[in-house]
Structure 1
Amino acid sequence: MRLTLIIYSLTYGGAERVMSIMANYWAAKGWQITILTFDDNKIPQFDLDSRVLYTPLGIASKSPNAIIGIYNNLNRIGTLRNAIINSKPDVVISFMSKINAITLLTTRWLNIPVVISERSNPIKSYLGGAWKQLRQQTYPFADRIVFQTKIARDCFPLELQNNSCIIPNMVVLPPIEKQSSDKVLRERSLVAMGRFVPEKGFDLLLQAFAQLNNRYPEWTLTILGDGKLRPELEYLRNQLGLSDRVYFPGMVKNNYDFLQQAEIFVMSSRFEGFPNALCEAMASGLPVISTDCPSGPREIIRDGIDGILVPNEDVSALAAAMERLISDEEQRKSLAVRAPEIIERFSVEKIMGMWEEVLAEVITDFSRMEKPTKNLTP
């Protein structure tokens, strides 16, 4: 099998991590895997199997106005089209809304089956009017649409839902053998992680933690990640009097070093797609607290069994749940014991089996259609 996988980049992010896992899994089976990215980063954030052909196309430049935007998109389509043709795929798989739309335009006349995947909440994620319209016009071209949750799928018209399936993210067993012996967290630590963007709700987390400041002075909060909101979050932390209690170590090489040493994981997101960070924390055996945001956490956490769900964007409820676990070691242990069951519920083998079923169906359906022989000349 020859597959070409397309995404904006392979830098820090959940969708990027999932695509790298998929590529490595299939490469290990002897499949010929090509990853095409829009950025020009020669070294991906995630480790790739040496058999994966990784090609950054360098077509991610921003457009200062509409005219240049049209030119850039035409250039992207031409460059991407040639790269897809050269990779000679049996199926193309694309991640993320904008990349999906461009990929569907690019492959429109290539007679190659295309599977696209939405990786966030379609209602909450801001695309802009032009991109929403382009998504509406191009998504019917897809041979199959993969959603991570039912909530995300239900946001789309019925005709697209009928040509879709739901495949959650896989959960990878923490690399225990690679754990560092170095101490990366102080004792009594809560941990969170993600991009420093509004949807992750780290401002809400800081406000909630501030409510516990005086009652639990021995506890600290570490938020892994980085992004455009770092200055605002640092300012809020200092304004709340938490400069010696909250740490922002940035993007780290191995999240598991921190997860293994933490006491509690907290996810404060306003919305999600299917949060990898939450899954990784549970796989590491951490008791977790998450906002019941759209979408993902409710499909992952079994409330009261392996984690706690709190109302979305409710600072007081988030603070109460944090205090509940901080003050009750037995409940922390009870949730932690059940949390690693997520590894079996969303195992790599199970999730990749679902992807392979989709590929087999798409190829079969495509071969039955009366289409001219593939013409892969530029």
Structure 2
Amino acid sequence: MTGGGKLRKKHIAMYIGSLNKGGAERVMCNLAEYFYSIGYKVTLATTYLSDDEYELPDAGWKVLEDEDDKNAVKVLSPDETERYVDLTGGVPMGIGRVFTALMPYEQGNRLQNFHRRIQKLTNTWERIKPDLILSFLGKNNVMAIQSALGLDIPVVVSVRATPSEEYAGTGLNLAMKTLFPGAAGVVVQTNGAMDYFGSLIKTKCKVLPNAVNEEFIGHDIVPFDERKKVIVSVGRLDENKNQKILINAFSYAVKKYPDYRLVLYGDGPTRDLLERLCRSLGILDETGKGADGKVTFMGSVDRIADRIAEAEIFVLTSRTEGMPNALIEAMALGLCCISTDCPCGGPADLIVNGRNGILIPMESDVNMAMNIFHSLERIMEDPTIARKMAASALEVRDKYNPQVINEMWRKYFEELM
């Protein structure tokens, strides 16, 4: 029996840095809502309270404006600004929340802080008594395993990006190799990611791909012939996402097809650099309202499905990816998709080259930009090919349906608890 005040199934704790709006955070929030909906007790353990978090319909907590509320609990934001929450002010018996950041008075030097964070996590697990701990991302995974040593609680860690990137530092890589064999399970998103690990860890690996977000599954599909001549890219503006090769490719394509425009959704540290590149090429949309033959920077936005549903082409230019949410979602909306064939194989798991999209081999930035240009040219010149690829892309709606992927997670967890 479930619901407010009624007996629930086993207890799953989910550990991540924050619920800030990112791909891994969204997957964890979706899993929290799913397991709660089928009767599990769920607690989200985060280090910080971010300023821009995903909202969970069944959240058992409420963010407060100040400390005057009698139920206010002091927590920290990522920049260590003091924030306040009411941990029982949301849905009664809803998804729980605990915070594990060291408060300023608890902090010492770097080594002391690491050990104190481990101890704080251990104290958290002893207090909330989960039947299973799920951790996402890098250092969090190492800390989750170490903090649960001796507690007889199975820990499942999830590697969300390319393992060689997620565990790039010498110390973190050594900790991963030492501790991961002691995990109950290691979730990866692609077979390529699993192949990174040695035999001791590989035996613990389980491939669980991302699901298509419900927002995209339920969205109307715009007929290809009614789409706008718009190319879109969705993602953080940074060196790994490598949007400059798309901008360079577009600068060539627009000379032949001036009625197309490029729209970039997302923000990040390379935005100024990318805008300067567009300005130097004479293709920056200075108005920000959209213009043929120009590149428009939209920043971070909500309801991305509504914004890209009428576009014709989606391009992903990453150097590395796990299972890219943005690519799955664009395919689910019937966009004609182009992606770099980057490690650890997420795009290649999604795209059969030439059938439901186009894969760009990993080469120099110059070569990749030219290959993207030729791929854009191919789509723009031949609507028949584009229409067929876009129609085939829609098959991800079934293969990566949330019900299918969530059921895979449920069966996996029940084997471990």
Indicate yes or no: 2:325 matched with 1:276.
Answer: yes
What is the CA deviation profile of residues 224-248 of structure 1, one whole-angstrom value per residue up to 9, with x for unaligned ones?
1111111222222222222121111
Indicate yes or no: 2:189 matched with 1:139.
Answer: no
C-alpha contact (below 8 Å) 1:199/1:270 kept by paired residues? yes
Q: Select the residue among 367, 375, 380 that pairs with 1:321.
A: 375
Measure, in 2, the Cα distance between the counterparts of 1:266 and 1:178: 20
Indicate yes or no: 2:263 matched with 1:222.
Answer: yes
Aligned to 1:337: 391
Counting only pairs closer than 5 Å after superposition, residues 163-312 of structure 1 correspond to structure 2 as 163-174=204-215, 187-244=228-285, 245-295=294-344, 296-312=346-362
Measure, in 1, the Cα distance between the counterparts of 2:249 and 2:102: 41
Structure 1 SS opposite 2:321: coil
Aligned to 1:71: 112
Aligned to 1:99: 140
Structure 1 SS opposite 2:254: coil
Structure 1 residue 54, shift from structure 2 partner: 3.0
Q: Select the residue among 405, 410, 417 that pairs with 1:351.
A: 405
C-alpha contact (below 8 Å) 1:7/1:95 kept by paired residues? yes
| Counterparts in 2 of 1:167 and 1:320: CA distance versus 1, 3 Å | same
Structure 1 residue 40, shift from structure 2 partner: 2.6
Please give the root-mean-square deviation of Cα atoms over the aligned residues, in Å.
Answer: 2.2
* Amino acid corresponding to residue 105 of structure 1 in structure 2: Q
Indicate yes or no: 2:410 matched with 1:360.
Answer: no
| Counterparts in 2 of 1:173 and 1:304: CA distance versus 1, 3 Å | farther
Aligned to 2:77: none
| Counterparts in 2 of 1:142 and 1:60: CA distance versus 1, 3 Å | farther
Structure 1 residue 351, shift from structure 2 partner: 1.3
* Amino acid corresponding to residue 12 of structure 1 in structure 2: K
C-alpha contact (below 8 Å) 1:11/1:46 kept by paired residues? no
Greater RCO, 1 or 2 (C-alpha within 8 Å, sep 6+): 1
| Counterparts in 2 of 1:318 and 1:240: CA distance versus 1, 3 Å | same
**Matched pairs, number:** 353
TM-score by length of 2: 0.80
Measure, in 2, the Cα distance between the counterparts of 1:5 and 1:84: 11
* Amino acid corresponding to residue 215 of structure 2 in structure 1: P
Structure 1 residue 203, shift from structure 2 partner: 1.4
C-alpha contact (below 8 Å) 2:45/2:99 kept by paired residues? yes
Structure 1 residue 140, shift from structure 2 partner: 1.6
Structure 2 SS opposite 1:5: strand
Aligned to 1:375: none
Aligned to 2:96: 53
| Counterparts in 2 of 1:149 and 1:177: CA distance versus 1, 3 Å | closer
The runs of 5 or more residues in structure 2 that have no matched partner are: 1-9, 60-93, 221-226, 286-293
* Amino acid corresponding to residue 267 of structure 1 in structure 2: L
Structure 1 residue 177, shift from structure 2 partner: 6.9
Structure 2 SS opposite 1:265: strand
Measure, in 2, the Cα distance between the counterparts of 1:303 and 1:200: 21
C-alpha contact (below 8 Å) 1:40/1:58 kept by paired residues? no
What is the CA deviation profile of residues 145-204 of structure 1, one whole-angstrom value per residue up to 9, with x for unaligned ones?
11111111111111110122111111134358788xxxxxx9411001111121111111
C-alpha contact (below 8 Å) 1:41/1:56 kept by paired residues? no
Measure, in 2, the Cα distance between the counterparts of 1:123 and 1:316: 27
C-alpha contact (below 8 Å) 1:173/1:343 kept by paired residues? no
Measure, in 2, the Cα distance between the counterparts of 1:284 and 1:306: 12
What is the CA deviation profile of residues 303-362 of structure 1, one whole-angstrom value per residue up to 9, with x for unaligned ones?
222111121241111111111112222222212212121011111122122212221222
Measure, in 2, the Cα distance between the counterparts of 1:189 and 1:43: 28
Structure 1 residue 46, shift from structure 2 partner: 4.4
Q: 205-214 or 17-26: which moved more?
A: 205-214
Measure, in 1, the Cα distance between the counterparts of 2:304 and 2:404: 24
| Counterparts in 2 of 1:284 and 1:207: CA distance versus 1, 3 Å | same
Measure, in 1, the Cα distance between the counterparts of 2:52 and 2:126: 23
Q: 92-101 or 324-333: which moved more?
A: 324-333
Indicate yes or no: 2:174 matched with 1:112.
Answer: no
Q: 145-154 or 213-222: which moved more?
A: 213-222
Moved over 4 A (4+): 175-179
* Amino acid corresponding to residue 47 of structure 1 in structure 2: L
Q: Percent identity?
A: 34
Indicate yes or no: 2:34 matched with 1:25.
Answer: yes
Measure, in 2, the Cα distance between the counterparts of 1:305 and 1:268: 19
